[in-house]
Each structure stands twice: as C-alpha cells, then as structure tokens.
Amino acid sequence: METTTFSKSNQVIIQNFINGEWVSSEGNQMEEVPNPATGEIIARVPISSKEDVDRAVSSAKEAFKSWSKTPVTKRARIMFKYQQLLQENHEELATILTQENGKTKKDAMGEVQRGIECVEFAAGAPSLMMGEVLPDIADGIDSGMYRYPVGVVGGITPFNFPMMVPLWMFPLAIVCGNTFVLKPSERTPILAKYLVELMHESGLPKGVLNLVNGAHDVVNGLLEHDDVEAISFVGSQPVAEYVYKTAANYGKRVQALAGAKNHSIVMPDSNLDKSVEGIINAAFGSAGERCMACSVVVAVGDIADELVAKIKEAADELNVGNGLAEKTSLGPLIRESHRERVLGYIEDGEKDNAKLVRDGRVELRENESGYFLGATIFDYVTEDMKIWKDEIFAPVLSIVRANSLDEAIQVANKSEFANGAVIYTSSGQAVRQFREEMDAGMLGVNVNVPAPMAFFPFSGAKKSFYGDLHANGKDGVNFYTKKKMLTQRWF
Ligand code: NAD
C-alpha cells in the first residue's frame, strides 16, 4: 500500500467505487473528515445521492448474473488471496484506522485482526454453503435443500469499527455468490477505500463489490431500491429501528445490529485485581466507543468500596492522547459534537446526585484540537438516572451497588438494551444463575469483552438487535443465502 499517514497537505479525496472504477459522486457535496486526535482535516468524502446508489445497484445487479454462477471454490480462492493481502498490510491498515477513528494503535491492530478472521471464515464457503439431503422420505422419493445467493445486498456500517464491521458483511455475502453495495460511515470513510481496493487486487470481478459514500440519502436509496434484496445494518438504536422497519416495508430481509448498555457484575468471590483489569479495558478501551463496552459495573456486596477505589486507581494510570503514540491508552472521541453530548451526560450525572469519583473533564485538552476526554467514573448510580439508561458511548463508567446476585441481574435486565453482560466470580453456581437469568445475547465469565469470533453469531437482543439472523457464523450464511427444496421421484 502507498503512504498511510494523512495530513492537511496529504488529504485523501475519497470517491465512490462503481462497476470496478473509482468515480465521482453525481452531486458536488463533500464533507471534511478530521483526525479526531488533532482536528486536522485528513480526507474529504462525497455525500452521494440516490442517483449514485442507482448506478451502484445496477452494476451489482448486472454482476450478479455471472458472479452467482461462478463456482464457489473460485469465489473462496479470492478470499484466500484477500486474507493474504490484508495480513501483509495489517500494520498500515491499523495506522489508517487510528487516524480516522482515534482508537489506539493497539486497539486498531486488534480490530484489523478481527476483520481478517471474518475473511478466513468466509473462505470456508464450499462447506458453509452445503445444503442437506434425505433419501427415501417416501417410497422412491428423495428430498434435499440447496442454498443459493439472494442477490444484491446493501451494507451500512458505523464509525466505531471501520474495519471489522464492513468485514462482517461483504466477504461472507460475496463468497456466498451475492453482489454488494457498501455504505460506510461518513465519519470514517478512509479504511473502506483501502478494503475495497485490496478486495479488487485479490481478483474480484467488477461490479461484485461497490462502494457508495454518503449519509442518509444513500441509506434510503438502498432501503427503497427494488433491486436490493437484503440489508445488513450496524449502528445506533434509533437508526437501526428505522432501517429495520423501512427495509422490511420494502420487502427486504434485514438484520440491524444496534446500541448497547452492557453491565459487568462483580461478585464478592471474584479476583478483584483481575476484575479491575477487565473493567478498565472494557469501559475505557476504544474510548468507550464500542457496542460491547462495559459502561455499567454492578458491585455486589461489601466489596464495593474496595472495588471502586481500585477502579479509580487504575483509571488514573491511563494515558490520554493521540492513539498513534505508544504510551497512549485512551484516545479521543470521534467528534467535538459527540464530546459535547458526553459532557452533557456528565452534568446530568452530577445533577442526579451520582457520586463523581473521577472527573475526566480535568483531562479535557482545551488548548489542543483533539477531542479528548479522560476516564470518568460515577458511583451510586441508580436505574432512574439518565447516565444509567442511555448509551453514552464514551469513557464514562457508572457503578451501581447491589446486595445480591439476584438484585444485580434484576438491575441489568431492566436495561432496554441486551447486547452483552459479564460476571466476575469464582462460583460455578453464580455463573449458572447468570447464564440462565441474564437476558443479553453475549455473555462473559471473567472476560472483559465477550465479543464472539467470526464463526459464531454476534447475538444482541431487545433494542440491541432488530431482525432474526445475526451477523457472522452460520446465521450470516443463512442471512446471505436462500434455500430451495427439491423433492424428486424418478420413474
Ligand atoms: P449511526 O447510527 O449514527 O450511523 C450508522 C450508519 O447509519 C452510518 O453509516 C450513518 O451514515 C447511517 N445513518 C446515521 N443516521 C442516519 C439516518 N438518520 N438515516 C439513515 N442513515 C443514517 O451509528 P454510529 O454513531 O456510526 O455508530 C455507533 C453506534 O453503533 C452505537 O450505538 C453502537 O452501539 C452501535 N454499534 C452496534 C454494534 C452491534 O454489533 N450491535 C456494533 C458496532 C456499533
């Protein structure tokens, strides 16, 4: 890959990628993309129109004719090549990611790895796409199920995982024989350009993967388009709900992964130091901008004071700064407007009389242009407070105190979200109760972020997920394929 450090004088001018070519958007609207650590404008992204979507969809529809008939072994081989190219460019991709998203280089390296694992899973398409047969379902009659691609798929992705989330979608969709139109977040459009470029270097025919940059017009263009058969969406709850309802209304299959408010329950019998390590990573890693961030700790029993003191002590050790610097452990938020919103939540917490144990505002670097905020911790948070209810999506941790595991699970289950939950304990019985009663899709025991790997579904529930089949794993294969049954008798 060419140079991967961007600046005001070395800006990336993003284009759309349609039918195998980089093309300008039909309209002239462009948006600036700042590096969240410096405020410097490092890219310009087109805010495309529905006409751009039409061009991309018609190219994908045309390509579907031959791509869907290309042997699955050939499609899989392209994924092997893609895996190799991504691996070779691991470091460069992570450097781009840090510059456009702000997360630390270490987090970015981890995210790139997670993305590569999705491609590795997709490369297993010949096995994944197998149907099933049952001979002799009646006298002389055999029956079997065959899988086929669904057609043109639209993918809409968020800013917080610009590598991993697009790779949840297009490799698996494409290897199953579909063609794809990707609409990445307009706040982090740079990596998508490189992901698409490397995909084509791997030998993908033109029109199979198209990229249309922009915002809601592009999203609506995909949701309403007659020739788009399926929509994969990842983003915030209100938009996920809107996408789900609109796409379904237009007769499409849709999976929409949404926001979260994940609880970590710390039991009195847990290893406190290890629990604190996990909590710090899960609450403040990627500046709390993760759908699997643990933004609420429920401290059970008389360990609460000691736990809170240890969390504060560990948070004091975090180094706020540019994610490219080796010593940085807490990067900036994505935009100034997001930081303003988060500051509003900190004020809400104070007004509601939660105890501000650590005030990240002392690290607000007013004299620098990056969107920094230090780790912020509230104790004595209760379920009526806004800081408990809403997804803040920032390094702001709420601590709730509970007397028992029953009470802790009850609190966590009151959230309207149900993405993930973690328990820190040494009791098998507590784990069993947690697994049985905790209403969240992705559970963890003594692990900081229980995000499943690419071969398992990414399984939120309640307002964290709209749809039936989740992203990744066999769910992903089912989502990107349609089934045909063949019942046959030969005379
Ligand atoms: P977002 O909802 O603002 O944007 C997501 C996508 O939707 C973007 O491509 C954006 O352009 C588009 N969009 C935004 N507003 C729209 C509108 N009004 N109409 C049509 N399209 C619109 O989300 P974000 O801030 O980029 O990402 C963070 C959110 O994503 C958080 O809520 C996080 O929890 C969630 N997320 C969830 C998962 C999961 O697996 N459940 C994973 C990653 C992120």
| ipTM of this predicted structure | 0.99
- Answer whether 230's CB lies under 8 Å from 151's CB: yes
Residue 275, SS3 per DSSP: helix
Nearest atom within ligand 1 for CA of residue 220: 20
Residue 2: what pLDDT?
Answer: 66
- Ligand 1 centroid distance, CA of 117 (Å): 22
Among 43, 50, 42, smallest CA distance to 15 is for 43
- Find the 367 Cα to ligand 1 centroid distance in Å: 30
Query: Read out DSSP for 67-125?
Result: HTTS-HHHHHHHHHHHHHHHHHTHHHHHHHHHHHH---HHHHHHHHHHHHHHHHHHTTH
Q: Is the CB of 260 under 6 A from ligand 1?
A: yes
Q: Tell me phi and psi for residue 233, to 5 degrees.
A: -130, 140
Token pair listed for 294: 């643990």
Tokens of 411: 């609190």
Please confirm, yes or no, whether 176 is among the known catalytic residues: no
- Which positions ≥6 away from 363 have C-beta within 8 Å? 320, 372, 373, 374
Using the mean position of ligand 1's atoms as its centre, give its distance from the Cα of residue 105 in Å: 23
Q: Is 159 in the pocket of ligand 1 (CB under 6 A)?
A: yes
The annotation places the binding site at: 159, 183, 186-187, 391
Atom of ligand 1 nearest to the CA of 185: 9
And the tokens for 246? 């609109």
For the Cβ of 299 lying below 6 angstroms from any atom of ligand 1, the answer is no
Angle subtended at Cα 66 by Cα 64 and Cα 68, rounded to the nearest 5 degrees:
60
Q: What are the residues whose beta carbons fall under 8 Å from the beta carbon of 46, sequence distance 6 or more?
A: 14, 15, 16, 24, 25, 27, 29, 30, 31, 52, 213, 214
Can you tell me which atom of ligand 1 is nearest the CA of 236?
32
Strands (E), 159-220: 179-183, 209-211
Distance CA 288, CA 36 (A): 15
The residues of the chain scoring below 50 in pLDDT are: none
DSSP at 277: H
Strand partners, 32: 44
Q: Is 286 in the pocket of ligand 1 (CB under 6 A)?
A: no
Greatest distance between any 2 Cα atoms in the chain: 84
Contact present, 370 and 332 (Cβ < 8 Å): yes
Instruction: Confirm if 322 and 288 have CB atoms less than 8 A apart.
Output: no
Task: Decide if 255 contacts 470 (C-beta within 8 A).
Answer: yes
How high is the pLDDT of residue 367? 66
CB 444 within 8 A of CB 420: yes
Is the CB of 377 within 6 Å of ligand 1?
no
Ligand 1: centre distance to CA 206 (Å):
28
**Could you tell me the pTM of the whole model?**
0.98
Query: Which residue of 101, 160, 186, 246 sits with most ligand 1 atoms within 8 Å of its CB, as the best mutation to test the pocket?
Result: 160
The full length of the chain comes to 491
391 touches ligand 1 (CB under 6 Å): yes
Residue 4 has a pLDDT of: 78
